[in-house]
Amino acid sequence: MPRLASYYIPGLYVEDHSCRVPLDWTGKEPGQSVDGASISLFYRVLCSPEHVHDDLPLLVFLQGGPGGAGPRPMNPSSEGWIAEASKHFRVVLPDQRGTGRSSPVGAATMSVFHKGREGADYLKHFLADSIVRDFEHLRRSSFAGRKWTTLGQSYGGFLTLSYLSLYPEGIDAAFTTGGIPHIPASATEVYEHTFPRMRAKTQEFYARYPQDEARVAAVSDILAAGDVRLENGDPLSVEAFQTLGSNFGMKPSFETMHWLLDTAFRDGDGSLPGSGAGDMHLGEDFLNAVMTRLHSKPLYWPLQEFIYADGEIEPIRWAAQRVRDEDPSFSTSARPLLFTGEAIFPWMFEQQGQLRPFKAALDVLMEESHWNRIYDTGQLARNDVPLQSAVYYDDMYVDSGMQLDTLSRVGNAHAWVTNGYEHDGVHGDAVFRTLFEQARDRGDLEAVFS
């Protein structure tokens, strides 16, 4: 495809590209001409400046999410894995459909649908089966069908197993970090495992910063007692405040939360007031920071539970809310207040302006029982593409035991189990290097570099 732009950032040469892909892949095959309704697929290609004219193998990054755009590196070290990967590969960074510069989907997009069924049908085009076909189309049409290596972070690991199910012939080798789904998939099962870890992470936070337990309680009392509004007009409820724990499985999330709470109160020197909630006032900087945290990645929350939908299933029906309702320790009135992480709840689509246009579609999708297949268990059992996975033992989001159970049923799969990193470990400089060296030393990269 023609280059949209080419330029250098510190330590990297960058090319911007875009191609068209079908909105609906039904009856279509990747690599063929695109007819009918289509959307943009934007991608960048990176390499080290010294390799601009070299014929390097390709590595495509499968971004986490769902609903997450590809990284925008500042330099090779700002995304630690790029520093290592760019030594060996030409790196392809797609924006998954609906994100970044790939026909992004947000509140304005969903506002045009007047019926929930129409919006639901549209959103179903932004899940793994379509994303993987986009990437395979990109490989065939823009890279002359050349095989590539995949690196899947978090949800990108889900995409990896879908890719290995649907188009294994396109991949020379695969890496995943913190992202092997349990197969068969079940959103309810996932949250039954993750809510206890949310509790443990909150307790760990309070143990590290014990003074913040009282500050969190005081903020919650203020929110429960009055009509607190963010600058955009959205209400700030206790439930919404609890969702700020969504990053507790990453670093340095505890410190980020601690310093956020440091500005919670606006009066005097910001110390915790000693009187009742009626005498307390939340600081403007605190409320603005909370609003920024709550209102990002508009496609991430609507798709969250549907990444577990595979084929014919029982309706999901707000799995996280159902599991939460069975555990009174997550009540808004419980003390110490527990934070939640990477879980969606029905009230979010009523309280938050950017999510309200998704509500009618979500109500339909939560009752949906028919979904496209994203995993082929027979093909995964027969898999011969080398798969090297980093499994984080204490991962808050993707249960390590469930990851290992799946990997035990995938052919040619190897796991590196470690408690040395959180869910975002790939953003440092060691995780990908370790996986790469393990695969290389095992001989699993011969096809890549032959």
Q: 140: domain CATH number?
A: 3.40.50.1820
Domain count, the chain: 2
- HSE toward the beta carbon, residue 218, CA cutoff 13 A: 25
Q: What are phi and psi of 167, to 5 degrees?
A: -140, 60
Angle at the Cα of 135 (from 130 to 137), degrees rounded to 5? 90
Same domain, 339 and 224: yes
Taking the model in full, what pTM does it have?
A: 0.97
Closest to 305 in 3D by CA, of 142, 77, 65, 72: 65
Task: Provide, rounded to the nearest whole percent, the portion of the chain with pLDDT above 70.
Answer: 98
Residue 228, in any domain of the structure: yes
Give the domain-ending residue among 311, 332, 365. 365
Residue 10 CB-density burial (10 A; 0-12 exposed, 13-18 middle, 19+ buried): exposed
Q: How far apart are CA 263 and CA 287, in angstroms?
A: 9
Same domain, 345 and 433: no
Same domain, 220 and 269: yes
Strand-by-strand arrangement of the 387-392 sheet: 5-9, 12-22, 38-47, 90-94, 58-62, 148-153, 171-177, 387-392, 413-418
Provide the residue-wise pLDDT of the chain in tens; the chain has 450 residues.
Answer: 679 999 999 999 999 999 999 999 999 999 999 999 999 999 999 999 999 999 999 999 999 999 999 999 999 999 999 999 999 999 999 999 999 999 999 999 999 999 999 999 999 999 999 999 999 999 999 999 999 999 999 999 999 999 999 999 999 999 999 999 999 999 999 999 999 999 999 999 999 999 999 999 999 999 999 889 999 999 999 999 999 999 999 999 999 999 999 999 998 888 886 655 556 789 999 999 999 999 878 899 999 999 999 999 999 999 999 999 999 999 999 999 999 989 999 999 999 999 999 999 999 999 999 999 999 999 999 999 999 999 999 999 999 999 999 999 999 999 999 999 999 999 998 999 999 999 999 999 999 998
Same domain, 146 and 32: yes
Give the domain-ending residue among 365, 387, 414. 365
Same domain, 11 and 148: yes
Same domain, 97 and 214: no
DSSP per-residue letters across 188-241: HHHHHHHHHHHHHHHHHHHHHSTHHHHHHHHHHHHHHHS--B-TTS-B--HHHH
Closest to 187 in 3D by CA, of 409, 345, 36: 345
- The answer to whether 259 and 205 have CB atoms below 8 angstroms apart is no
Same domain, 64 and 167: yes
Same domain, 27 and 106: yes
Residue 128 CB-density burial (10 A; 0-12 exposed, 13-18 middle, 19+ buried): buried
Structure confidence at residue 214 (pLDDT): 96
Same domain, 387 and 356: no
Q: How far apart are CA 119 and CA 123, in angstroms?
A: 6
Residue 61, in any domain of the structure: yes
- In the chain the first and final C-alpha atoms are separated, in Å, by 26
Angle at the Cα of 70 (from 26 to 86), degrees rounded to 5? 115
Structure confidence at residue 280 (pLDDT): 76
Segments forming the whole domain that contains residue 323: 187-365
Closest to 126 in 3D by CA, of 20, 25, 246, 17: 25
DSSP per-residue letters across 70-121: PP--SSGGGSHHHHHHTTT-EEEEEPPTTSTTSS---HHHHTT--SHHHHHH
Give the domain-ending residue among 332, 365, 398. 365
Structure confidence at residue 297 (pLDDT): 80
Q: How far apart are CA 433 and CA 103, in angstroms?
A: 33
Same domain, 84 and 97: yes
Same domain, 331 and 403: no
Query: How many angstroms separate the Cα of 64 from the Cα of each of 13, 80, 378, 397, 442?
Result: 23, 15, 25, 12, 27
Residue 370, in any domain of the structure: no
Q: How far apart are CA 386 and CA 384, in angstroms?
A: 6
Same domain, 213 and 335: yes
